[in-house]
Amino acid sequence: MYDVNSTKAEEFINHEEILETIEYGRENAKNRELIKSIIEKARTLSGLSHKEAFVLLSCQEDDLNQEIFKLAKEIKYKLYGSRIVLFAPLYLSNYCVNGCVYCPYHYKNKKIARRKLTQEEIKKEVVALQDIGHKRLALELGEDPVRNPIEYVLESIKTIYSVHHKAGDIRRVNVNIAATTVENYEKLKDAGIGTYILFQETYHKENYELLHPTGPKHNYAYHTEAMDRAQLGGIDDVGCGVLFGLNNYKYDFIGLLMHAEHLEARFNVGPHTISVPRIRPADDINPKDFDNSINDEIFMKLVACIRVSVPYTGMIISTRESKKTREKVLDLGISQISGASKTTVGGYDEDIDSEGSDQFDIADNRTLDEIVSWLMDMGHIPSFCTACYREGRTGDRFMKLVKSGQIGNVCQPNAMMTLQEYLMDYASPETRKKGDAVIEKNLALILNERTKQRTVKWIEEIKQGKRDFRL
């Protein structure tokens, strides 16, 4: 039986309830009255249940689908404004003891070049990332208790925060590592991480176990309950996601929203972020071997329906997706993107041998400057802000600000200030000129006079080299 408050994965992600919801969506795919009522509920920003959300995903009425897309854009801009936060992944090690059939890190792959960065190499990677303008990283590494113990992760985080090169520093490290214990989550919290990220891959237990035939990750319950342990360990910002293409997207969409409902019910804090990756080609991995792939049209609908159903969450799209695809979904709810990413261990510093260690192929290979310029061309404010983490605006404090619509009063000014930093320190002349115009335009849009004056003052201080505050 479905129990949102249960601590057991198979109860808060209930198989029978998901199948019933899929059938309910099929039956009501053309129920205009019901669909309209759900759209109106979503318009209140109170969120939707997994059942209501799936009716929208199932909708076969073209005009109502357009209404869903329109609403997704309205909600995104109302809660998050025009800012888009930028980050980059940093791969520390591709040693792994799991047998995941969709990932080239699986232990049976003898062709991939195995690498683990030393602390000195990590410093080089961080300098390279700082030198193009990044302030926020997401740590990535395979699961190997011997080669990649928690002590290695903690030491690496300390190393990253210690590097200050020219005008650069990494202000926040988010962490994407394998499911672990409450004790280890407490250690990560003490190390000053931002968000703990863990993708479920698929919520279908039987398929999950087939896709993860060996290794610690085979344990469905332990993996699915990881976010609960992270919360118990003091990490109140957690990031969820599935790898679309591994399993039926309808099933995983419902499971993802059930997971969000569970976290909200148990901890009063739903997922800080939801990621929407699709499977990509990689060493010895061919996406065509998986028959659940989804096209761009379905992908856009998924993004829009997640946004209207879980309005408070940040939504992430990575360089797995092409420029063309990212353009299609940015307005539908995305608030964070990666840029100038490398999925190789040691991929940023030219002196580190990283050849052959990729996790997957990058679809968007543009430089960070090109991506910053592109975002501004589309009317967005590229943001490098990490202030919420440092000011303690995490967990339910952050959620209250988002749900009340107040987070934009913080995020928009900070986005402009961090963009000003980027323009001064890293931007090309063309991007700098474009950015100056974007900042001027958005300053004029700030309605609160006190906020506007303060933002103008701080931007002037940044221009003068006075950086006593950290954004």
pLDDT tens digits, one per residue of 43-99: 999 999 999 999 999 999 999 999 999 999 999 999 988 999 999 999 999 999 999
224: exposed, middle or buried (Cβ count in 10 Å: 0-12, 13-18, 19+)? buried
**Residue at token pair 């118990």:** 232
Measured CA to CA, the distance from residue 107 to residue 84 in angstroms comes to 36
The reply to whether 470 falls in a domain is no
Last residue in a domain, options 52, 74, 96: 74
User: How many other CB atoms are there within 10 angstroms of residue 136's CB atom?
Assistant: 24
Last residue in a domain, options 50, 74, 98: 74
User: In this predicted model, which residue has the larger pLDDT, 444 or 125?
Assistant: 125
Judged against a pLDDT cut of 90, whether residue 136 lies above it is answered with: yes
- Identify the CATH number of the domain in which residue 306 sits: 3.20.20.70
Report residue 399's pLDDT band, with 50, 70 and 90 as the boundaries.
confident
Measured CA to CA, the distance from residue 50 to residue 4 in angstroms comes to 11
DSSP class of 246: S
| Judgement on whether residues 198 and 123 belong to the same structural domain of the protein | yes
Strands 336-338 and 83-93 come out as: parallel
Judge contact between 154 and 228, C-beta under 8 A.
Answer: no
Q: What is the CA radius of gyration of the chain?
A: 21
Number of domains in the chain: 3
The reply to whether 4 falls in a domain is no
Structural tokens at position 197: 């990220």
| Judgement on whether residues 60 and 97 belong to the same structural domain of the protein | no
Phi, then psi, of 304 in degrees rounded to 5? -65, -40
| Judgement on whether residues 59 and 85 belong to the same structural domain of the protein | no
pLDDT at res. 282:
67
Judge contact between 378 and 330, C-beta under 8 A.
Answer: yes
| Judgement on whether residues 101 and 62 belong to the same structural domain of the protein | no
The reply to whether 284 falls in a domain is yes
Percent of the chain past pLDDT 90, that is, above it, reads: 82
Q: CA of 442: how far to CAs of 133, 413, 421, 439, in Å?
A: 22, 9, 16, 5
Last residue in a domain, options 74, 94, 116: 74
Strands 136-141 and 164-165 come out as: unpaired
The reply to whether 398 falls in a domain is no
Judged against a pLDDT cut of 90, whether residue 358 lies above it is answered with: no
Measured CA to CA, the distance from residue 397 to residue 407 in angstroms comes to 10
Helix (H) or strand (E) holding 183: helix 182-190
| Judgement on whether residues 348 and 386 belong to the same structural domain of the protein | yes
Phi, then psi, of 66 in degrees rounded to 5? -65, -35
pLDDT at res. 360:
84
Report residue 243's pLDDT band, with 50, 70 and 90 as the boundaries.
very high
pTM, full prediction: 0.95
Report residue 469's pLDDT band, with 50, 70 and 90 as the boundaries.
low
**444-456: burial string, b at 16+ Cβ within 10 Å, e else:** eebeeeeeeeebe
Measured CA to CA, the distance from residue 52 to residue 243 in angstroms comes to 22
Domain that holds residue 441: 404-463
pLDDT at res. 118:
98
The reply to whether 125 falls in a domain is yes
| Judgement on whether residues 212 and 287 belong to the same structural domain of the protein | yes
Measured CA to CA, the distance from residue 150 to residue 214 in angstroms comes to 21
Phi, then psi, of 178 in degrees rounded to 5? -60, 155
Structural tokens at position 324: 């063309």
pLDDT digit string, tens, across residues 155-212: 999 999 999 999 899 999 999 999 999 999 999 999 999 999 999 999 999 999 999 9
Mean pLDDT, the chain, integer: 94
pLDDT at res. 468:
61
pLDDT digit string, tens, across residues 264-320: 999 999 999 999 999 886 666 676 777 788 999 999 999 999 999 999 999 999 999
Name 152's Cβ contacts closer than 8 Å, sequence gap at least 6: 92, 93
| Judgement on whether residues 96 and 160 belong to the same structural domain of the protein | yes
**CA atoms in the 13 A half-sphere facing the CB of 167:** 17
Helix (H) or strand (E) holding 89: strand 83-93
Measured CA to CA, the distance from residue 321 to residue 341 in angstroms comes to 12
| Judgement on whether residues 34 and 135 belong to the same structural domain of the protein | no
The reply to whether 468 falls in a domain is no
| Judgement on whether residues 62 and 154 belong to the same structural domain of the protein | no
Looking at the DSSP bridge assignments, the partners of residue 244 are 278
| Judgement on whether residues 451 and 336 belong to the same structural domain of the protein | no
| Judgement on whether residues 139 and 151 belong to the same structural domain of the protein | yes
Strands 238-241 and 196-197 come out as: parallel
Judged against a pLDDT cut of 60, whether residue 455 lies above it is answered with: yes
The reply to whether 326 falls in a domain is yes
The reply to whether 420 falls in a domain is yes
| Judgement on whether residues 313 and 449 belong to the same structural domain of the protein | no
